[in-house]
Amino acid sequence: MNVKSQVGAGILATCLASAAAAALASPAAAAEAPVDVPLQSLGGVLPVTPPTVSTGVPLLTPGMPEGLGHVGEGGLPELTLLPRTPIGSEFPETRVEAPMPSLLGGRPLGTALLTSPRSDVETSTPGASLGEPLSLPRGGALGLPGVQLPKAALLTPTLSGGLQSDLGLSPQEG
């Protein structure tokens, strides 16, 4: 192996290693895009201090398509027209703070807090498949399978997860 091919192999190995490290680090580092909802302009319209909302936009991570290579009852593989693809994500932490006004000129009540912690969500896209065009082997036809109309199927989408929230009142500081 000459020097040029050794250098080329070294550069290729370095690129592959850095790409693999970036692929492993990116889902953990960037699970969401933070968002602060700007509601300060409502201060001129509302008779109270506007609430603050901070949350994030979840970044979706698609998985491996499901249903490929599924074998039907005749031993032949079913034709998957559109495979179901699982998508995993997590709802980001959400926090809404709304200062409570004072009642009848008294002391302010505090701040109403609505918080929702992170929660995992799993979903899958819809899919479609087409059954086998052949039936099971028949005894009367020398063990050859018969021809039949394929059965089309729609695979339903799924969604699973749990969302919790807490509502409370924090006392006024000061």
Write out pLDDT tens, residues 38-70: 888 887 887 778 888 998 888 888 888 877 766
- Residue 85 phi, psi dihedral angles, 5° rounding: -115, 120
Question: Is the pTM of the predicted complex or chain greater than 0.75?
Answer: no
Write out pLDDT tens, residues 79-99: 777 888 898 888 888 999 888
Contacts of 68 (CB under 8 A, 6+ apart): 80, 83
pLDDT at residue number 172: 63
- Please, where are the H alpha helices in 30-67? none
Q: Which residue has the higher pLDDT, 166 or 140?
A: 166
d(CA 68, CA 81): 10
pLDDT band (50, 70, 90) for residue 25? very low
Per-residue pLDDT at 114 exceeds 70: yes
- Single out the residue of 119, 125, 111 nearest to residue 155, CA to CA: 125
pLDDT band (50, 70, 90) for residue 135? confident
Structure tokens at 79: 């034709």
